[in-house]
Amino acid sequence: MLKFLIKKQLLEVFRGYFYDAKKNRMRSKVQVALWIVFFIVLMVGMMGGLFTAMALSLCEGLNAAGVGWLYYTLMGFVAIVLGAFGSVFSTYSSLYLAKDNDLLLSLPIPVRTIIISRLITVFLMGAMYSAVATIPAVIVDWIITRAGVVRILGGLIWLLIITVIVMLLSVTLGWVVARISLKLKNKSIVTTLIAIAFIGLYYYVYFQAIDLIRDLLANAASYGGRIKGAAYGIYLFGRTGEGDFTAIAIFLAVTAVLCVLIWRLLSRSFLKIATTKASAPRVRYQEKTHRARGPLAALVLKELGRFTSSSNYMLNCGLGVLLIPASGIFLLVKGGEICEVLDLVFTARPDTSALLILTMVFMLSIMIDNAAPAVSLEGKSIWIPQSLPVSPGTVLRAKMVSQLILSAPLMLFAAICGAVILKTSVAVRILLVLMTLAFSVFSALFNTVIGTKLPVLTWTSELVPIKQTAAVAIALFGGWFASILPVGLYLLIGYQLGAALYLAIWTVLLCGIDLLLLRWMDSKGAAIFAAL
């Protein structure tokens, strides 16, 4: 039974790799392999590259100072933070909010078997997040120190310990979130705010990291000695990566004890939390006249209602709502100084700063991609829009407009802030704003189109359509690629045209693509949606 449940869990998490929703059939082995390679390239290339650079900057200096253990300690903490905080909310959802909890609990399956199968998913998600930091860390260390068998073995055990710690932390934090959620009134809003606070803290530490690393490398031996004296456990943790058998034995034992404790906590509380509904106060209905709206407005409001009802949805597809206006204010405060420096750096390519401002706004806008999972989120309720007297094109337009409502005004604000601080021609400033608007429409259309092309309607946790589908991955990485393309081409050849003409061409091009995407959405997209 456990084997079957684990298989079900894994199939759900990795469904997009094995199943072609469009053709309603399993993918071939070649297609599966290509999808997996694509994912690995994205993870290793984008995130792994970041942590490889971090590992390279730390490893040699710390080993030369004789505190190689500190390298493993630091990289270990980074991986734990990344893994645990990256998966804490998905842990809560996949453990306690899975739609098939009731079904499985009604079957003659021991509760512990259900918990173990859920934990495997949590373990894998945490492992995927933490591996982005741990794998580059051990590889860099092995190469730089020319590691022997003992060090390699130590590195592998360090990696395993971290993965288990990440799972234990995720489960503990998920349990805390679940306990709080049972008592909260505006659950989705509070959960989102807590998560944003965590993310803010994470990025604060991340941006301080360069200074911290520089300071640490300059005083490695001194810090190492002080940490070893004051917190011997942290020293031992780092020593596991270097292959110290005593440290390995102690940490394996500590991890095993923690596993037992967390298991006891989970097995005692799982059933209660998974089957208890939040104690929301009963709202009494008071009749009042509702303002009548048109079908499109009703559908758009429905989409926005769906968005604000779920912390998962808001966190994963709406972070840009905070970051874009923050970037606008940042531009007003610091933008002038930064642009002056940029103008000095790119003297041969004038107005590069305008293109870089665009890139920043575009990249942040990609973090508003609520249209990408919107079709998949219809799930079993898809019969409602399909049976209502609205064309499928109108349903898709509503999804597109809901993203546009969230992103376009904020992007416009940030672009105007950029235009204000730029020391350039009026034409460039106006085109900066116009191109931003054209890009916001492009992004909303592209996400709707990709969400319609690659829908996943059969899911038991909303995290699947929100985080784990090919549509969302393509929206994110494709969007980032589209964001950097204009500045990349400008630096290569575009500058020869002059910024005004270059931006004008891009604006017209984007408007053209917008029209093509709109046409596709209204014709082929509508046909696909009607046939789902």
Q: Which residues bind other proteins (CB under 8 A)?
A: 277, 280, 282-287, 289-295, 297-299, 301-302, 305-306, 309-310, 379-381, 383-384, 386-391, 530-531
CA–CA dist 484, 487 (Å, integer): 6
Q: Which is nearer to other proteins, 379 or 498 (CB)?
A: 379
- Residue pointed to by tokens 């008071």: 286
Q: Which is nearer to other proteins, 25 or 268 (CB)?
A: 25
Closest C-alpha among 427, 441, 438 to residue 507: 438
Compute the least distance from the CB of residue 184 to other proteins, in Å: 14
Compute the least distance from the CB of residue 285 to other proteins, in Å: 4
Neighbours of 7 (CB within 10 A): 12
Which of helix, strand or coil describes residue 94?
Answer: helix
Closest C-alpha among 274, 377, 359, 392 to residue 317: 377
Closest C-alpha among 402, 396, 400 to residue 532: 396
Mutual angle of helices 220-230 and 187-218, in 10-degree steps? 120
Q: Does residue 13 contact residue 39 with C-beta atoms inside 8 Å?
A: no
Q: Which is nearer to other proteins, 251 or 529 (CB)?
A: 529
Compute the least distance from the CB of residue 391 to other proteins, in Å: 6
Compute the least distance from the CB of residue 373 to other proteins, in Å: 14
Compute the least distance from the CB of residue 302 to other proteins, in Å: 6
Q: Which is nearer to other proteins, 193 or 280 (CB)?
A: 280
Distance of CA 482 to the CA centre of its chain: 18
Q: What is the bridge-based pairing of β-strands 25-26 and 19-20?
A: antiparallel
Q: Can you give the C-alpha Rg of the chain in angstroms?
A: 25
Q: Which is nearer to other proteins, 268 or 291 (CB)?
A: 291
Q: Which is nearer to other proteins, 299 or 324 (CB)?
A: 299
- Residue pointed to by tokens 């095993």: 256
Euclidean distance between the first and final Cα of the chain, in Å?
A: 32
Q: Which is nearer to other proteins, 128 or 382 (CB)?
A: 382
Distances (CA, A) of 211 to 81, 97, 214, 285, 408: 19, 41, 5, 56, 35
Three-state secondary structure readout of 483-525: HHHHHHHHHHCHHHHCHHHHHHHHHHHHHHHHHHHHHHHHHHH
CA–CA dist 233, 184 (Å, integer): 37
Compute the least distance from the CB of residue 502 to other proteins, in Å: 44
Compute the least distance from the CB of residue 263 to other proteins, in Å: 30
The letter for the amino acid at 235 is Y
CA–CA dist 137, 155 (Å, integer): 9
Q: Which residues in 413-443 are b (16+ Cβ under 10 Å) and which e?
A: bbbbbbbebbebeeebbebbbbbbbbbbbbb
Compute the least distance from the CB of residue 386 to other proteins, in Å: 5
Q: Which is nearer to other proteins, 188 or 440 (CB)?
A: 188
Compute the least distance from the CB of residue 482 to other proteins, in Å: 31
Compute the least distance from the CB of residue 368 to other proteins, in Å: 19
Q: Which is nearer to other proteins, 211 or 287 (CB)?
A: 287
Compute the least distance from the CB of residue 388 to other proteins, in Å: 5
Q: Which is nearer to other proteins, 106 or 387 (CB)?
A: 387
Q: Which is nearer to other proteins, 207 or 285 (CB)?
A: 285
